[in-house]
Amino acid sequence: MSKRIIVLSFDMESDIGSWTSGDMGVRIGTPEILHILKKHQAQATFLFTGREARNHPKIVRKILSDGHEIGCHTMYHESIGTAVFDMPGANFVLESEIKNRLALATRTVAKVAGCKLVSFRAPRLFGSAAMINALEELGYLVDSSFPAYFYGRDFSPYNPSRRDWAKNGRSKILELPVFYDTDVRPSNKTLRQRDQWPMLRLKGAKMFSDLCLRMIGKAKTQKGHSLLCIYLHPWEFVPMSKVIVTDEAKISFKPFLYKNCGPAALNALDAFVGQMKEDGLEFRTMRDVVYL
């Protein structure tokens, strides 16, 4: 019998990605997320940067003790692939450095977690064939970096080509694209309006639940199960500042990065997970998808 599955994943990084050095999301937001998941008996995958895992080992161990999966999200939230939107200061790693950098991140997170890592996501969904090849050599089983919203293609899991990760091929890695709203007609070249993030936080649980139910039939596993992969961040569940001031700059964030962060996002997550469970959907980890 076919199932309907949600893969809920969290990119465990510094607050607002590469723009700050704070970890309020990891420290304060994660326990709140875990409380909601425990309430609904839902599993999730938490993809840590090496830096955040090393700095917060108690959080890593708590996630594991609650029955969730730990994965990797690079070492310092650096970019390891091709950009699909303009990101000043994205800190791109040279292709020749990707394997060693991923090996360092993997060792760092695995040492804290005390377990083998099999799941990965690239920051900002900036991936590449070089990344896929390095992940395969490092023993990963599943990657969830492919920006399907940018390419405008389906978001069913597939095995990518070792030469072009956007095409089907013979890599042992299972690529698990995050889903997007295929009905949105974007108004600018970045195409980001149709990405599923951050719709839950900005538009609320009902809208997001309805979107998932509309989209879930569009992605299938090899065994015929319907599946959607969702990505969020722990900093979304803690109030974020509109502006940060450093020694060199004053940075004003666009509203989509701070709007509804904190209690509103927690309420939306609670309502969404509850609604999906009520509708009979299962929450599984990224690791689980390899066997579905």
Per-residue model confidence as pLDDT tens digits over 136-171: 999 999 999 999 999 998 999 999 999 999 999 999
Q: pLDDT class for 89, splitting at 50, 70, 90?
A: low
Q: How confident is the model over 204-215, as a mean pLDDT?
A: 97
Is 219 in contact with 226 (CB distance < 8 Å)? yes
pLDDT at 292 exceeding the cut of 90: no
Question: Per the structure, how many domains does the chain have?
Answer: 1
Burial class (CB within 10 angstroms; exposed 0-12, middle 13-18, buried 19+) of 93: buried
Q: How confident is the model at residue 236 (pLDDT cuts 50, 70, 90)?
A: very high
Q: Please name the residue that has the structure tokens 């195409």.
A: 191
- Where residue 257 falls among pLDDT bands split at 50, 70, 90? very high
The top-scoring range by mean pLDDT among 13-17, 240-244, 266-270 is 266-270
Note the pTM of the prediction, 2 decimals.
0.96
Asked if residue 262 has pLDDT above 90, the reply is yes
Backbone φ, ψ for residue 175 (5° rounding) = -85, 125
Could you please report the per-residue DSSP string of the chain? ---EEEEEEEEE-STTGGG----HIIIIIHHHHHHHHHHHT---EEEE-HHHHHH-HHHHHHHHHTT-EEEE--SSS-B-S--SS--TT--BPPGGGHHHHHHHHHHHHHHHHTS---EE--GGG---HHHHHHHHHTT--EE----HHHHT-----B-B-SS-TTSB---SSEE-PPPB-TT---SSTT-GGGBSTTHHHHH-HHHHHHHHHHHGGG-B-TTS-EEEEEEE-GGGGS---SEEE-SS-EEEPPGGGTTTTTHHHHHHHHHHHHHHHHTTPEEE-HHHHTT-
Q: Tens digits of per-residue pLDDT, 172-208?
A: 999 999 999 999 987 766 688 899 999 999 999 999 9
Tokens 């995958």 belong to which residue? 45
pLDDT of residue 1: 81
Whichever domain contains 151, its CATH number is 3.20.20.370
The confidence band for 51, taking pLDDT boundaries of 50, 70 and 90, is very high
Give the pLDDT score at 15.
Answer: 95
Give me the domain span that covers residue 131.
4-289
Q: Residue 17 pLDDT > 90, yes or no?
A: no
Residue 91 to residues 57, 106, 147, 257, Cα–Cα distance (Å): 25, 19, 19, 20
Residue 37 to residue 274: CA distance in whole angstroms: 9
